[in-house]
């Protein structure tokens, strides 16, 4: 994936919605996890973060991951987003088998293909909004030019409504604005997948809803979005809801906006969303 590709304008994003919605299909999963397991320690003292999960996530869908604290939501998100590696099992994301990648290769793959958004923003405090975004672009495309990074970062900040704030430091931005910068950083590399781990968890409800709308817009533009949340109302607005319980997928259901054709494929014992 190249960062010289311009970001889609909101208009282009809207035009592409019909096309991406009709191609949503469980037969074309962006994410395919089989027997995916993340364990710390051994024997009777081992902790299982994710326990033998089988899950397909269709390309272009907005999927909520819900469940009690400690149920494995963040661990699953970290595995799928290439932040962490499984102990066993296989994981294919965007056609690439990532479970066996070494740290460096996984970091490169992640920089090029995934955008990550955290609850507490994770912006570098001494860099401006634009510089935070430019840095992510540099990781994804080390050969690109500074001028192109600048214009892509400015465009990404414009998409999240922060075009006028690009020279501000994180400390000069509200929580909601900082999360918008983090989203700009996530989309600036034109990722196929966004993993957002409780991105609204540190925000007041109204601001959280605004951030969620940005994720909905991204899905509308064709990006697959994994949205980890504790907010049942926002979860219901996603295409699908995956419920985690004790490191396993306890259930999968369609959200309010789900296209009717997809669901759980019980015959394969694989949760398909």
Q: Tell me which residues touch ligand ADP (CB under 6 A).
A: 40, 47, 49, 67, 69-75
The arrangement of strands across the sheet holding 88-93 comes to 96-97, 88-93, 29-40, 47-58, 271-272
Cα–Cα distance measured from residue 98 to residue 81, given in angstroms and rounded to the nearest whole number: 10
Between 33 and 173, CB nearer to ligand ADP:
33
The partner in contact with residue 178, picked from Mg ion, ligand ADP, none with C-beta cut-offs of 5 to 8 angstroms by kind, is: none
Of 80, 92, 98, nearest in space to 197 by CA: 80
The partner in contact with residue 49, picked from ligand ADP, Mg ion, none with C-beta cut-offs of 5 to 8 angstroms by kind, is: ligand ADP
Closest contact distance (angstroms) between CB of 18 and ligand ADP is 35
Helix (H, G, I), strand (E, B) or coil at 203: coil
Helix (H, G, I), strand (E, B) or coil at 270: strand
| Chosen residue from 3, 20, 37, 74 binding Mg ion by CB under 5 A | 74
Of 168, 221, 247, nearest in space to 12 by CA: 221
Cα–Cα distance measured from residue 132 to residue 126, given in angstroms and rounded to the nearest whole number: 9
Which range in 26-34, 66-74, 83-91, 116-124 contacts Mg ion by CB under 5 A?
Answer: 66-74
Closest contact distance (angstroms) between CB of 224 and Mg ion is 20
Between 65 and 262, CB nearer to ligand ADP:
65
Cα–Cα distance measured from residue 201 to residue 220, given in angstroms and rounded to the nearest whole number: 23
Closest contact distance (angstroms) between CB of 216 and ligand ADP is 22
Between 76 and 152, CB nearer to ligand ADP:
76
Between 73 and 219, CB nearer to Mg ion:
73
Closest contact distance (angstroms) between CB of 53 and ligand ADP is 12
The partner in contact with residue 264, picked from Mg ion, ligand ADP, none with C-beta cut-offs of 5 to 8 angstroms by kind, is: none
Cα–Cα distance measured from residue 108 to residue 82, given in angstroms and rounded to the nearest whole number: 10
Task: For tokens 């034109």, name the residue.
Answer: 190
Give me 237's structure tokens.
């607005």
Between 50 and 159, CB nearer to ligand ADP:
50
Asked if 200 touches Mg ion (CB under 5 A), the answer is no
Between 128 and 200, CB nearer to Mg ion:
200
Q: Interior CA angle at 72 toward 69 and 73, to 5°?
A: 80
The partner in contact with residue 70, picked from Mg ion, ligand ADP, none with C-beta cut-offs of 5 to 8 angstroms by kind, is: ligand ADP
Closest contact distance (angstroms) between CB of 208 and ligand ADP is 17
State the Cα torsion 63-117-152-141 to the nearest 10°: -100
Q: Which residues bind Mg ion (CB under 5 A)?
A: 73-74
């Amino acid at each position: 994936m190249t960062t010289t590709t311009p970001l889609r304008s909101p208009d282009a994003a809207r035009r592409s919605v019909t096309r991406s919605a009709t191609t949503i299909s469980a037969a074309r999963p962006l994410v395919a996890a089989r027997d995916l397991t993340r364990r710390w320690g051994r024997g009777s003292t081992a902790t299982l973060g994710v326990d033998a999960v089988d899950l397909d996530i269709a390309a272009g869908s907005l999927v909520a991951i819900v469940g009690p604290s400690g149920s494995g939501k963040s661990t699953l998100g970290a595995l799928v987003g290439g932040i962490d590696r499984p102990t066993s099992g296989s994981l294919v994301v965007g056609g690439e088998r990532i479970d066996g990648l070494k740290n460096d290769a996984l970091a490169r793959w992640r920089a090029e293909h995934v955008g990550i958004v955290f609850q507490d923003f994770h912006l570098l405090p001494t860099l401006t909004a634009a510089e935070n975004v430019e840095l992510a672009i540099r990781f994804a495309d080390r050969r690109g030019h500074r001028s192109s990074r600048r214009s892509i970062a400015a465009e990404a900040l414009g998409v999240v409504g922060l075009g006028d704030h690009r020279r501000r430091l994180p400390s000069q931005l509200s929580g909601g604005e900082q999360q918008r910068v983090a989203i700009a950083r996530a989309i600036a590399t034109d990722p196929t997948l966004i993993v957002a781990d409780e991105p609204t968890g540190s925000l007041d409800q109204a601001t959280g809803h605004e951030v969620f709308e940005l994720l909905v817009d991204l899905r509308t533009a064709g990006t697959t979005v994994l949205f980890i949340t504790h907010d049942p109302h926002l979860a219901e607005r996603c295409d699908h809801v995956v419920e985690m319980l004790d490191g396993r997928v306890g259930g999968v259901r369609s959200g309010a906006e789900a296209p009717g054709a997809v669901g759980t494929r019980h015959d394969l014992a694989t949760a398909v969303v």
